[in-house]
Structure 1
Amino acid sequence: MTDALITNTRFGSNAEVVEWFRVVRAAYDGADTPEDFPDHLRQQAAGFDQEMVEEFLRTLADTGDPDGALAGLLAIEGQMPDLYWAYFPAEYTAEETPESDAGPFGWVDEDQAARLNAAWGGDWQTHLDPQLTARWGADWQNHPADHKQAWLTDLLPELLAPPEDPFDWVPDEQSGRLTQAWGGDWQTHLDPQLTARWGADWQSHPADHKQAWLTDLLPELLGTRDATDLNAAAATTAAGAEVSAEVAQQVTTLLDDYLNDELANLGEDSDLSEEELTELFAELQADLLNAPTTQEDPS
């Protein structure tokens, strides 16, 4: 059974042999039942000749024991690719097979194929083709195999690098305030806000510039309820501690500053009037300081 499953496949390089056994194992491990295996293999082996894949499946069905045949085939996976070439006459070897017969990626070496498999899965050829065309030109397949191998070695770090975090420049203090206000997915909310204010190319600006701009922008984005210092003062009061005159003055000053900012930004479509907003801040001050609800005219 094993011999038939090997001899009905044709590969042009060691890398293709290793990749074939990898996708067969992935399909075998992913199938809940032997009946599920064919569909799993077709998905995993999208980069291989599909006629060969179907012939392999027909041969597997003809064994009468597909599950046992696959187990036997995968048991010798560790002997590949050397054992594979032993099944063919001496005139048919990986070294003598023209690259055109090995497919457009027969020149990819084993290490390169393994890295591409790990990153992109069994159909990595589908993803790699447009990447090489964009960088090497439409005629990239005409270059010698050793040239393409060397170029791909240099290119792989760029192709397989994890995507950059567009918000890795945000300091911990700022990200903490954003998380507190918007939750763990604050990046989703912040992106359109910055695009609207800084332009579509805001990511191209230096990190220190963006940090400074965001520092100025946070009060507008998060509003008065993002007052970290006020939260700390409220926690102290809630814990039953005596509010000192110094702390009371700091809270009053902060509230006055926030109130003035809000009053300056009031518009015709605001939910609160100037009087209502002033009263709200007076109540907030009373709650924080456990003081009578009196508020001087901020103007």
Structure 2
Amino acid sequence: MDFKTTLSRMLAVDDDCSAVIVNGVNKALRVKTDEIDVFARFSPTNLHSRQDMEKEAEFLDRLAQAEAPSCRLYRHKNQPVCGPFVVGGTQYHLLFSETIHGREMIRTASDTKAFGQALGMIHALPLGRAKYGGHQFADISTSPAPSRFHDILKELGDLAEAIRPTQTKRLGLCHGDAWLGNALKYEGEAVLFDFEFSHIGDMSYDVANFIWALRSEELSNQLELFGSFVEGYRQSFNVKYSSSELRKNIVQKEINNLVFLSDHVALSPEVTAASERFAKSTIEFVQHYEANDFRWD
């Protein structure tokens, strides 16, 4: 049974009502009929446990209660998370959300500003009694490094250990994978989705993730886009992040990326080599961070 058939049987709709949107490690489909319009994300259980996804649903409920600019859960038989399902020999759980009716974010100053405003609004929310810790990031100091990236991960780990942030972590509700591809523009505002790595933690990680993603796209207007992002963010949440915080978390993002690739993606030699080259460029970028203009102030 494939993903479309699984959804068709669950929701009592025809197969042609479903369309594959993402065909990566996660499989995401949109299901649209006259009665429903939902986004269905199948995540393999070796990436996210059912408990992980239920906590993600709790996180999204928290954002919805605060009317944050984020996707909204859809419940099937009062359950936002369903499964497990076995498709192609792999076990998955399924999380539903309502479809966001908007366009893709583009790499312009106005869109990055809108993204910054939306992320700042989420970061500005009070934690209250929230207990959700969320997904744990890769920690190569306590787990064996994947063999294919062993040397570069060791170098990244040493660099992260050497960076001492100059201020205490500012804890809050974090998206976990903040970049333009995880938002849509609706009525002039950015609406964030794909909270699979959401957690309560150091909010500067989300900012570092945004910087890392801009660099990975090799855009000629990176600095302009980052400046617009900061402008929008500070309109919603006027705080300052130190260069040391951002540097450390850019390294952590690179570590997370390499461990994710090693654990969940079948890499060709060419992709492995390209990933190592980018990781080395990240090290150089972080080592010379004060010489570039990706600073918060």
TM-score tier after normalising by the smaller chain length: under 0.3
Higher helix share: 1
TM-score by length of 1: 0.23
Instruction: Flag the structure with more relative contact order, 1 or 2, with Cα contacts below 8 A and sequence separation at least 6.
Output: 2
Please say which structure displays the higher CA radius of gyration: 1
TM-score by length of 2: 0.23
